[in-house]
Amino acid sequence: MIELKGITKRFDDQPVFENIDLSLAQGEIIVVIGPSGTGKSTLLRCINFLERPDAGHLTVGDLSFDVTRATTRDILALRRRTAFVFQNYALFANKTALENISEGMIVVDGLPKAQAHARAREILERIGLADKADAYPASLSGGQQQRVGIGRAMAANAEVILFDEPTSALDPEWVDEVLGLMKQLAAERQTMIVVTHEMRFARDVADRVIFMDEGRIVEQAPPSELFHQPRDERTQRFLRKVLPQATV
């Protein structure tokens, strides 16, 4: 369903990562972990061209192209197949929760406003915010804002949802409500790639955990294997820091 071949990204001639290969099946949930600054979020942003890769080939569903030759049409088609959940919510401050969720359906998908609003209300019900339809982001808690952000991604009916550290900006009291919604999507087999430091979520939800370090995919395995029998010394060292009680 999703395949990255030889994806490379540089900033000012400094490589963030080079020749990354990764594949993801429909309905699969991948969680990417690793030290800060190792390229996890940049890789996620390259998948839907929030950052333009410098080399490689990208396939999402029936769309496939060389990233160096991607046209505006290719990128728009790619973004219709992927939805992005930002760590800082990225909501429109001047739009209500209902409008934030319905905006893409109206502008991108061309749905009539009434139909888009009806769909947005269904999503607000699903994410537990039916009573916040007319609330603006400033009046919502961090957890509620992030749930609206996830609701906006749900509205896109994307083939894959990309989560960039979705709980990192939240106060601890709001983390569980966002993770709970993500677990709900996982139970429905929504295809997801999640960059996160939430190790418990990775262990509970992921089909596969990928450990990145210094711009490379060091190893990948089901969580039961990677968390308990990591092969690479770098993975072992990282897990000892973030899971001090674990035996690795």
62-99 pLDDT, tens per residue? 999 999 999 999 999 999 999 999 999 999 999 999 99
Residue 248: pLDDT band (50, 70, 90) is low
Residue 15's pLDDT is: 92
Residue 13's pLDDT is: 84
| 204 falls within a domain | yes
Q: Residue 74: which H helix or E strand, with range? A: helix 72-81
Task: Output the six-digit token pair for 55.
Answer: 């080399």
| 99 falls within a domain | no
| 129 falls within a domain | no
Inter-residue contact 44 to 80 (CB < 8 Å): no
Inter-residue contact 205 to 182 (CB < 8 Å): yes
| 104 falls within a domain | no
Inter-residue contact 161 to 103 (CB < 8 Å): no
Can you give the CATH number for the domain in which 32 is found?
3.40.50.300
Structural domain total, the chain: 1
Say whether pLDDT at 247 is over 60.
no
Radius of gyration of the chain (CA): 18
Any idea what DSSP says for residue 89?
-
What's the mean pLDDT in 142-150? 96
| 196 falls within a domain | yes
Query: Average pLDDT, whole number, for the chain?
Result: 94
| 109 falls within a domain | no
Q: Residue 179: which H helix or E strand, with range? A: helix 172-187
| 114 falls within a domain | no
Of 82, 7, 2, the closest CA to residue 42 belongs to 7
Say whether pLDDT at 58 is over 50.
yes
Residue 246's pLDDT is: 47
- How are beta strands 63-66 and 160-164 bridged, if at all? unpaired
Query: What are 159-212's pLDDT values in tens digits?
Result: 999 999 999 989 988 999 999 999 999 999 999 999 999 999 999 999 999 999
Residue 243's pLDDT is: 84
| 205 falls within a domain | yes
Domain that holds residue 85: 2-90+163-242
Residue 245's pLDDT is: 59
Residue 191 identity: T
Q: What is the pTM of this model?
A: 0.93
Q: Specify burial of residue 95 (Cβ count, 10 A radius: 0-12, 13-18, 19+).
A: middle
CA 176/CA 228 separation, integer angstroms: 24
Of 228, 231, 194, the closest CA to residue 30 belongs to 194
